């Protein structure tokens, strides 16, 4: 029996979306766990891991969302998760690095960069991209947080990225996430 | 004298103001020793007395194992105080007392710190960069302030559009 669900939702931005969604969760006895929400252009996009109360089925929860979905114009998707799938504190698969990629916008930047990462078993854990600059000469900016496995040699990876940089005509920088536990 | 258990939030001592040390007596010496032992056994670079359950204004900081830049090595400070701050730096911090979470915190890049050493003699030092951040983090613990109280931005909001 799945006791968790991941909800993804998006809708035109306005005050009250988070309150509208979490009101339903509160009323139905759900417990909100990890979430990430952000504004992309005019759309507010949300991802929430929610713990379901005993006896509440995912289908029933979907039914409870009907009214708020309509009033806020939301697209909503629910995926049940097992306890194992929803478990916390997954051990990181490597060292955290930030990869910034930027250049004149053209199709294929994201794919060609992430294809290189996946070929080395490097996992993307967080990612943001934006089109910036003038409409006629748009610039693409992408920042990825990745986990680089122990066995990957950073110098070798940097060489591969430099080669790709020339082929895709973008600029790139890779550096370890600077953080400290005090 | 031994490695102490690191107190974790929501223990109320972490949100309380610690007491000024009046005299460096046996009890204070023991707390300093316990802080040193606990810090050595931990993955952190600095520690404050409330983190081992003692509400006294005592911190220890030692960034020498973590960075190559100029630093003061092991600093033991009783009744630490920041006299002056300069610059600004945003850095991703974590805390031994708040497990599994890091956040982007805004702090001064350079601090003028004073206090007493373990013999009660006055100390003054100027710390920069990483060491300055560590000292500010620990001195915050003296007043029940956690890095969670100073989050400057979400890690994923690098591109948040600014309105000028």
Residue A86 per-residue DSSP state: T
Reading across the β-sheet that carries A179-181, which strands appear in turn? A179-181, B89-95, B98-107, B151-153
Specify the residue for token string 């697209």. Answer: A75
- DSSP of B96-160, one letter per residue? TTEEEEEEEEEE-SEEEEEEE-TTS-EEEEEEEHHHHHHHHHHHHHTTT--GGGGEEE-TT-TTP
Q: CA of B46 to nearest chain A CA: how many angstroms apart? A: 5
**Distant-in-sequence, close-in-space partners of A122: CB < 8 Å, separation ≥ 6:** A94, A146, A147, A148, A149, A152, A157
Residue A109 per-residue DSSP state: H
A177 and B CB contact within 8 Å: yes
Pairwise CB contact (< 8 Å): A181 & B44: yes
| Residue A1 pLDDT | 62
- Token output for B92: 């991703």
Q: CA of A41 to nearest chain B CA: how many angstroms apart? A: 10
- Token output for B80: 């630490």
In angstroms, the CA A91 to CA B140 distance is 30
In tens, the pLDDT along A109-148 reads 999 999 999 999 999 999 999 999 999 999 999 999 999 9
Residue A103 has pLDDT above 70, yes or no: yes
What mean pLDDT do residues B17-26 have?
98
Q: Which of A89, A141, A180 sits opposite B130 (nearest CB)?
A: A180
In tens, the pLDDT along B45-103 reads 999 999 999 999 999 999 999 998 999 999 999 999 999 999 999 999 999 999 888 89
User: What is the percent of chain A with per-residue pLDDT over 70, rounded to a whole number?
Assistant: 99
Run of H or E residues at B10: none
Residue B12 has pLDDT above 80, yes or no: yes
What mean pLDDT do residues A11-27 have?
98
| Residue A90 pLDDT | 75
Pairwise CB contact (< 8 Å): A180 & B157: no
Could you confirm whether B138 is annotated as catalytic? yes
Site from B59, B158, B163 to mutate, A interface, most A CB atoms within 10 angstroms:
B158
Q: Which of A88, A89, A180 sits opposite B45 (nearest CB)?
A: A180
Residue A151 has pLDDT above 60, yes or no: yes
- Token output for A182: 């005090």
Neighbours of A70 (CB within 10 A): 9
| Residue A2 pLDDT | 64
Which top CATH class is A95-176?
Answer: alpha beta
Pairwise CB contact (< 8 Å): B95 & A126: no
Which fold is adopted by the domain A4-81? Alpha-Beta Plaits (3.30.70)
Q: CA of A181 to nearest chain B CA: how many angstroms apart? A: 4
Residue A82 has pLDDT above 80, yes or no: yes
What mean pLDDT do residues B113-138 have?
97
CATH topology identical between A4-81 and A95-176? yes
Q: For A140, which residue in chain B has the nearest alpha carbon? A: B159
8 Å CB contact between B129 and B89: yes
Which fold is adopted by the domain B12-153? Peptide Deformylase (3.90.45)
In angstroms, the CA B105 to CA B114 distance is 23
Q: Which of B92, B95, B100 sits opposite A178 (nearest CB)?
A: B92
Residue B159 has pLDDT above 90, yes or no: no
8 Å CB contact between B61 and B75: yes
pLDDT band at residue B1 using 50, 70 and 90 as cut-offs: low
CA angle B60, B61, B62 (to 5 degrees): 130
Residue A137 per-residue DSSP state: S
Q: For B46, which residue in chain A has the nearest alpha carbon? A: A182
Run of H or E residues at A168: helix A154-168
In tens, the pLDDT along A20-65 reads 999 999 999 999 999 999 999 999 999 999 999 999 999 999 999 9
Q: Which of B94, B137, B158 sits opposite A128 (nearest CB)?
A: B158
pTM of the model: 0.87
Q: Do the bridges between strand A123-132 and strand A95-104 make them parallel or antiparallel, or are there none, so unpaired?
A: unpaired
8 Å CB contact between A92 and A177: no
What mean pLDDT do residues B18-47 have?
96
Q: For B140, which residue in chain A has the nearest alpha carbon? A: A182
- Token output for B50: 């409330």
Structural domain boundaries of chain A? 4-81, 95-176
Q: What is the largest CA-CA distance in chain A?
A: 56
- The mean predicted confidence, pLDDT, of chain A is 94
Site from B50, B65, B147, B155 to mutate, A interface, most A CB atoms within 10 angstroms:
B155
Q: CA of B143 to nearest chain A CA: how many angstroms apart? A: 16
Residue B113 has pLDDT above 70, yes or no: yes
How far from B63 is each of A32, B5, B39, B120, B132, CA to CA, in Å?
38, 21, 11, 23, 10
- A108 in the Ramachandran plot: left (φ > 0), alpha (ψ -120 to 50) or beta? left
CA angle B153, B154, B157 (to 5 degrees): 95
**Chain A 39-58, residues with CB within 8 Å of chain B CB atoms:** none
Q: Is A160 helix (H, G, I), strand (E, B) or coil?
A: helix
């Amino acid at each position: 029996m799945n006791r968790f669900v991941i909800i993804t939702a998006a809708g035109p931005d306005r005050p009250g979306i988070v309150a509208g969604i979490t009101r339903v969760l509160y009323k139905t006895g759900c417990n909100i766990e990890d979430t990430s929400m952000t504004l992309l252009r005019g759309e507010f996009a949300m991802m929430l891991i929610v713990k379901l109360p005993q006896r509440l089925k995912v289908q029933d929860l979907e039914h409870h969302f009907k009214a708020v979905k309509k009033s806020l114009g939301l697209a909503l998707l629910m995926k049940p998760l097992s306890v194992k799938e929803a478990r916390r504190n997954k051990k990181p698969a490597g060292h955290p690095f930030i990869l910034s990629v930027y250049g004149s916008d053209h199709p294929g930047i994201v794919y060609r960069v992430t294809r290189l990462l996946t070929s080395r078993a490097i996992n993307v854990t967080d990612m943001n991209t934006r089109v910036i600059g003038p409409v006629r000469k748009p610039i693409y900016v992408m920042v990825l947080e990745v986990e680089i496995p122990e066995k990957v040699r950073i110098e070798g990876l940097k060489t591969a990225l430099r080669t790709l940089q020339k082929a895709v005509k973008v600029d790139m920088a890779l550096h370890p996430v600077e953080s400290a536990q005090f | 004298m031994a490695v102490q258990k690191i107190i974790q939030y929501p223990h109320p001592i972490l949100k309380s103001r610690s007491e000024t040390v009046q005299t460096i007596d046996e009890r204070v010496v023991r707390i300093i020793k316990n802080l040193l032992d606990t810090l050595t056994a931990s993955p952190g670079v600095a520690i404050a007395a409330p983190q081992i359950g003692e509400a006294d204004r005592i911190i220890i900081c030692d960034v020498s194992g973590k960075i190559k830049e100029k630093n003061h090595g092991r600093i033991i400070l009783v009744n630490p105080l920041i006299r002056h701050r300069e610059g600004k730096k945003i850095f991703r911090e974590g805390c031994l007392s708040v497990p599994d979470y890091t956040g982007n915190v805004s702090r001064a890049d350079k601090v003028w710190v004073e206090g007493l050493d373990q013999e009660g003699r006055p100390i003054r030092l100027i710390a920069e960069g990483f060491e300055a951040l560590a000292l500010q983090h620990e001195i915050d613990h003296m007043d029940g302030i956690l890095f969670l109280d100073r989050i400057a931005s979400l890690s994923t909001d690098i591109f948040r559009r600014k309105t000028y």
